[in-house]
Chains A and B, each alone.
Chain A
Amino acid sequence: MFKELDPILHSQLRLAVMSILISVKEAEFTFLKEKTNATAGNLSVQINKLKEVGYIEVTKQFHNNYPQTICKVSPVGIEAFEMYVKALQEYMNPGRQ
């Protein structure tokens, strides 16, 4: 029996954001926008969804008089991401456990 893929992560932009954040300690919103080629609006919506489920932590602050949004993956997010990858691997290699 296959595990159901996490619907929060099984979306292109949210998965892209999580994959970047899992590889670094923290990243600015502008960095995520640059790497995913997403529009600010769409990225903002998806980041909020990830924040609502507790997968990422978002800090808003001012840096040199400019607003700065810093995103960081949470322990819950790391666990969810690992489960998602594991589930994907099971789909790809159904014989293996």
Chain B
Amino acid sequence: MDNKNNPLSQEESLLLISQMINKAKNSYHESGIGPMLWGTVITVCSLVTYCQIKFDFRLPFDIWLLTLFAIIPQIILVAREKKKSKVRGYDDLVMDYIWSCFGIGIFLLIFINANIIEALQPVFSHYKELTGQKSMITYRSFSTSFFLLLYGFPTIITGGCRKFKPMLWGGILCWICCVITVFTPNDIDMLLTALSAGAAWLIPGIILYQKNVKGKVTNV
């Protein structure tokens, strides 16, 4: 663009403006590795938990501890992407806040659930005596719904604001599964959690990653 100080016609000006706006819009994007990482971790944790319930075995450790270990590569990934990025969009800060609040919200929910389970344990222990019913409910069978409710929020906002339909539909599926898990037992809850995490993060992450590899950048 060395001779770019030539006089412009009105049509050329408008064309240049729209071309440059499009170039800028298509320039800030995510690699897709973050959504792929979390999609994989949550899907694996849910499926392993499903197998533990279904086939009645216990691992020597809690599989959900994987989520704690996944935080480390996530922090490294975010720092690397920020370092590489030459441009910041208007909604970048909003997205940072939304996903940080989501992460903190998940840990707060785990903390709340742990306390509720402890407080209600006597009720669950004497469920048969109190109600005369044979089957025993557990708080855990409802807690999955709360998690799926939280999963949906940032996913729908991100997918909607950045016009990335796979993530938007994935977020909506989280909310549909949130309603279904109210009525399903623990093992099915875990299958639905795996389905939600796969649809909300793993598949959109793979799509983003492939677009990046092909050089077809997208503004997500």
Interface residues of A (CB under 8 A from B): 5, 10-16, 19-20, 22-28, 30-31, 34-39, 42-43, 46, 64, 85, 88, 91-92
Q: Is B24 an interface residue (CB 8 A)?
A: yes
Contact A12 B6 (CB under 8 A): yes
Bound Cα distance A38, B16 (Å):
14
Bound Cα distance A28, B86 (Å):
5
User: Which residue in chain A gives the minimum CB-CB distance to B1?
Assistant: A38
Of B4, B24, B83, which contacts A35 at CB under 8 A?
A: B24
Interface residues of B (CB under 8 A from A): 1-8, 10-11, 13-14, 16-17, 19-21, 23-25, 27-28, 83, 86-90, 92-93
- Min CB distance A58 to B, Å, is 15
- Min CB distance B100 to A, Å, is 18
- Min CB distance B163 to A, Å, is 15
- Min CB distance B106 to A, Å, is 28
Residue among B1, B3, B23, B83 with the highest chain A CB neighbour number at 10 A: B1
User: Which residue in chain B gives the minimum CB-CB distance to A16?
Assistant: B20
Given contact pairs A19-B21, A23-B24, a sample of 10 additional A-B residue pairs in the complex whose CB atoms are under 8 Å apart: A10-B13, A12-B8, A16-B1, A16-B4, A16-B16, A24-B88, A24-B89, A36-B20, A46-B5, A88-B10
Bound Cα distance A10, B7 (Å):
7
Bound Cα distance A46, B6 (Å):
13
9 smallest A-B Cβ distances: which pairs? A19-B20, A13-B4, A12-B4, A31-B86, A23-B24, A38-B1, A28-B86, A27-B87, A20-B24
User: Which residue in chain A gives the minimum CB-CB distance to B25?
Assistant: A23
5 contacts between A and B (CB under 8 A): A20-B21, A28-B86, A38-B4, A92-B10, A92-B14
Bound Cα distance A37, B27 (Å):
15
Of B6, B13, B27, which contacts A31 at CB under 8 A?
A: B27
- Min CB distance B199 to A, Å, is 30
Bound Cα distance A26, B88 (Å):
5
